[in-house]
Amino acid sequence: MRKKVIAGNWKMNKDLHQSQKLVSDIINGLGKDTKADVIVCPPFTSLYEVSSLLKGTQIKLGAQNMYYEESGAYTGEVSTDMLKSVGCEYVILGHSERRVIFNEPDELINKKIKVALAKGLKPIFCIGELLEQRENGETMQVVSRQVEKGLEGVSSEQMKNVIIAYEPVWAIGTGKTATPQQAQEVHSFIRELVAKKFSASVAENLIIQYGGSVKPENSNVLLSQKDIDGALVGGACLKADSFLGIIASA
Ligand code: PGA
């Protein structure tokens, strides 16, 4: 049985003060019998403070991006060691906003994934098709390419530390959610791809999250799909109540 994993991607929201408040509300509201794994991914500027507030809780910390070089003249970038030094265990990579707004290609995402894994950070590797690609019937082709290129050179052993998040780009921040059937179809396809690329047992144990306008009103039915093992939540993780509602449904 795969555990459900709920991650909150705060994106470019919450200054230090607001981050302290949000994470404290999440900690205080989280039931003791919560069965899901919970990850919060605040902006870089809040990681250290959120990390100290999370000490002694079951909530894990993730960053939203990183660069693959160890150190040096890379103005504006942050390395894996830096993220680990402030308590990060996870890092979101390949998010569609990085792909689309910041032009990150599959090759760059692949380099980051390999370095994250080699350095002991667990990637939450995001994939998903644009609206136009879905309308042209290219969803499975796009997702295949992203999995193939993004995970090139990753070993079966390392796959134990990878989470895949399927996020149809047309559903991110739009209020449009994929139907549970649409999501399940792609999730099961991704699991098959991973089985072919790695092994049946890697695929069976892989956490595949769904992301795109997940909220407490739709999380229950999405998370009850066979191949949906959790959620990567954007907008609805910025308020403790709605994030806790999604965690409760898991
Ligand atoms: P959303 O974002 O929940 O606001 O659609 C999800 C994501 O981008 O990870």
CATH number reported for the structural domain that contains residue 111 in this entry: 3.20.20.70
Is the pLDDT reported for residue 85 higher than 90?
A: yes
In the reported structure, the alpha carbon of residue 211 is separated from the centroid of ligand 1 by a whole-number distance in angstroms of: 6
Domain range for 105 is 5-249
Whether 155 and 113 have beta carbons less than 8 Å apart is answered as no
The yes-or-no answer on residue 132 being catalytic is no
pLDDT at 176: 86
* Number of C-beta neighbours around residue 57 at 10 A: 12
Mean pLDDT along residues 20-48: 95
Helix/strand/coil for 19: helix
- pLDDT band with cut points at 50, 70 and 90 for residue 147: very high
Q: Ligand 1: which atom is nearest the Cα of residue 236?
A: 3
Measured distance CA(202)–CA(211) in Å, rounded: 21
Mean pLDDT along residues 89-98: 98
Q: Ligand 1: which atom is nearest the Cα of residue 214?
A: 3
Which residue minimizes the CA distance to atom 6 of ligand 1?
234
Q: Which residue is associated with the tokens 């205080």?
A: 28
pLDDT at 33: 80
Outline where 102-179 has alpha helix (H). 106-118, 131-135, 139-150
Measured distance CA(247)–CA(250) in Å, rounded: 5
Strands (E), 33-121: 37-41, 60-63, 90-93
Domains contained in the chain, number: 1
